[in-house]
């Protein structure tokens, strides 16, 4: 790779899935609803209907543009992008070409401890198309059916400059952008549902040259893995062409996940002339100071701020703070649980350790965690109060996970309260000591390590309910006693 520098850019379509209705009509935004049930004459593209813009969609894109440090156009308007396709019955898509909501911003990424700004060329609002369902999925290998539920769903399109120079930077950009969008609450960003869609452009230039090479766009990327795989394959393809003295052709490629190669799209589809012109059915939108100031005041805490706050307010390490603020769902969970028990360190450890393990085993994400944060907080509180030991807590958490019961309820039902009664523990220790004369002999001959063995035996006899500190202390006392008696 040393002889070429790589430039990677992205175009991202984000479904504003958190909104209640579509961009130009009042139809709901649905996923998985029966086909063509969330439609009306406007989003079906009937002639003679008029679009009415959803103000909330403009606000959502304004928030994205602000969070991406963009300049904001005080006058923003819509344009028609003309093309013919069965999923676009009007024959044009209402988009923004000349005065997008935001432009010239940046997103900060971090790779190997170094921060870098990826430039954002354009942030605009447009409508989604309907969805084509082909072949077997449509119940007929020769058929294509159209589902208009997606038609007119608001999309925020983000276009970057080709500022990324490696796969690592590309991955960091995708992760950071998704995180930012989740924090803004504009979309659920579920890529498998098409709520977040990436297209990439790749070009190579000789090292040292500052003139960009011919760029190739890649579509059909429905996961981070696909984007990274496709860009890697495309870099390799272009490099081989250039090394053999050939020229890269400017074109659009499709990612073939099965063959791990990029393939040219049919040229007919790449020869675009969209004949953009101002949308005559919609008036331009004035974004005044007052509106912008209100939105700025309404902006949620963003990932970087939350990460820094977690480090100073909860005294978490960088590693823990980063993991916990990776998504608003984990950050919110952490704060809610900590509020109950006042022990941020313990909550962080349980979340990143045992609870994450249980979620992984169950194939669940934090948004479907069966243990509510209040329960985890209560469990840590029970430990702090000395009611349960760590070992019991581990068992308890498993049961909380499967039964969804509160820790207090399980502790009461199963009598898991820790044994802190000295007399009761002494009696158990006496039995353990009597049952292990050999180990007692070892202790008497100076092997202190057998202390741990005895504490372990006490834990086993009490099914982990003995208070560990107390058990330790009483075991030592009992063995010292044995020493006295034997001498």
Q: Which residues bind Zn ion (CB under 5 A)?
A: 25, 27, 40, 42-43
**Angle at alpha carbon of residue 350, lines to 357 and 336, rounded to 5°:** 115
Q: Which of residues 129-188 bind Mn ion (CB under 5 A)?
A: 157
Q: Which of residues 325-384 bind Mn ion (CB under 5 A)?
A: none
What is the nearest approach in angstroms of Zn ion to the Cβ of residue 17?
A: 16
157 binds, among Zn ion, Mn ion, none (CB under 5 to 8 A by kind): Mn ion
Q: Can you say whether the dihedral through the CA atoms of 248, 249, 252, 258 is positive or negative?
A: negative
40 binds, among Mn ion, Zn ion, none (CB under 5 to 8 A by kind): Zn ion
25 binds, among Mn ion, Zn ion, none (CB under 5 to 8 A by kind): Zn ion
What is the nearest approach in angstroms of Mn ion to the Cβ of residue 13?
A: 6
6 binds, among Mn ion, Zn ion, none (CB under 5 to 8 A by kind): none
Say how many residues touch Mn ion, by CB under 5 A. 1
121 binds, among Mn ion, Zn ion, none (CB under 5 to 8 A by kind): none
Residue nearest to Mn ion (CB): 157
Q: Smaller CB distance to Mn ion: residue 128 or 234?
A: 128
Q: Smaller CB distance to Mn ion: residue 157 or 234?
A: 157
What is the nearest approach in angstroms of Mn ion to the Cβ of residue 157?
A: 4
Check residue 15 for interaction with Mn ion (CB under 5 A): no
Q: Smaller CB distance to Zn ion: residue 17 or 462?
A: 17
Q: Smaller CB distance to Zn ion: residue 29 or 182?
A: 29
Query: Chain-centre distance of CA 359, in angstroms?
Result: 15
Give the position of tokens 């400017």: 250
Task: Report whether 298 contacts 185 (CB < 8 A).
Answer: no
Q: Smaller CB distance to Mn ion: residue 158 or 295?
A: 158
Are β-strands 75-76 and 285-286 bridged in parallel, bridged antiparallel, or unpaired?
A: antiparallel
What is the nearest approach in angstroms of Mn ion to the Cβ of residue 95?
A: 6
Please name every residue paired with 439 in a beta bridge, in sequence order, or none if there are none.
none
Burial class (CB in 10 A: 0-12, 13-18, 19+), 354: middle
What is the nearest approach in angstroms of Mn ion to the Cβ of residue 93?
A: 7
451 binds, among Mn ion, Zn ion, none (CB under 5 to 8 A by kind): none
Helix (H) or strand (E) holding 217: strand 216-221
What is the nearest approach in angstroms of Zn ion to the Cβ of residue 13?
A: 19
- CA–CA separation, 115 and 226 (whole Å): 25
What is the nearest approach in angstroms of Mn ion to the Cβ of residue 265?
A: 16
**Chain residues that interact with Mn ion, rule: CB under 5 A:** 157
């Amino acid at each position: 790779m040393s002889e070429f520098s790589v430039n990677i850019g992205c175009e991202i379509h984000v479904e504003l899935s958190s909104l209640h209705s579509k961009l130009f009509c009042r139809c709901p935004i649905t996923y998985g609803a029966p086909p063509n049930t969330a439609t009306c004459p406007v989003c079906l593209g009937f002639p003679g209907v008029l679009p009415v813009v959803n103000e909330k969609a403009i606000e959502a894109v304004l928030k994205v543009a602000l969070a991406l440090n963009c300049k904001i156009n005080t006058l923003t308007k819509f344009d028609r992008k003309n093309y013919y396709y069965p999923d676009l019955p009007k024959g044009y898509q209402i988009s923004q070409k000349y005065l997008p909501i935001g432009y010239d911003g940046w997103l900060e990424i971090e790779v190997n401890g170094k921060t870098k700004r990826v430039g954002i060329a354009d942030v605009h609002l447009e409508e989604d198309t309907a969805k084509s369902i082909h072949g077997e999925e449509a119940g007929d290998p020769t058929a294509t059916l159209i589902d208009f539920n997606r038609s007119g769903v608001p999309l925020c399109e983000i276009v970057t400059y080709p500022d990324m120079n490696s796969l690592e930077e590309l991955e960091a950009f995708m992760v950071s952008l998704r995180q930012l969008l989740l924090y803004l609450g504009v979309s659920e960003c579920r890529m498998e549902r098409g709520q977040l869609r990436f297209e990439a452009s790749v070009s190579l230039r000789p090292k040292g040259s500052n003139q960009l090479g011919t760029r190739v766009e890649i579509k059909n990327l429905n996961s981070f893995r696909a984007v990274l795989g496709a860009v890697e394959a495309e870099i390799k393809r272009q490099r081989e062409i250039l090394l053999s003295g050939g020229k890269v052709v400017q074109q659009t490629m499709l990612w073939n996940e099965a063959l791990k190669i990029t393939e040219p799209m049919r040229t007919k589809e790449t020869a675009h002339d969209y004949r953009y012109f101002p949308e005559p059915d919609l008036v331009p939108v004035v974004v005044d100071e007052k509106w912008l100031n209100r939105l700025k005041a309404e902006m949620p805490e963003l990932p970087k701020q939350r990460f820094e706050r977690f480090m100073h307010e909860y005294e978490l390490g960088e590693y823990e703070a980063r993991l916990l603020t990776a998504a608003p769902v984990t950050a919110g969970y952490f704060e809610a649980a900590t509020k109950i028990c006042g022990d941020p360190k313990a909550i962080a450890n349980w979340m990143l350790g045992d609870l994450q393990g249980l979620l992984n085993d169950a194939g669940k994400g934090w948004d479907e965690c069966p243990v509510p944060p209040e329960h985890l907080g209560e469990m840590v509180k029970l430990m702090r109060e000395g009611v349960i030991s760590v070992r019991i807590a581990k068992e308890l958490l498993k049961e909380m996970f499967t039964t969804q019961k509160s820790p207090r309820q399980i502790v009461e039902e199963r009598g898991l309260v820790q044994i802190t009664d000295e007399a009761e523990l002494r009696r158990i220790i006496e039995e353990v000591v009597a049952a292990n004369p050999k180990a007692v002999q070892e202790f008497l001959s100076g092997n202190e390590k057998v202390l741990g063995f005895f504490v372990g035996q006490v834990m086993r006899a009490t099914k982990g309910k003995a208070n560990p500190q107390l058990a330790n202390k009483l075991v030592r006392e009992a063995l010292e006693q044995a020493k006295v008696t034997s001498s």
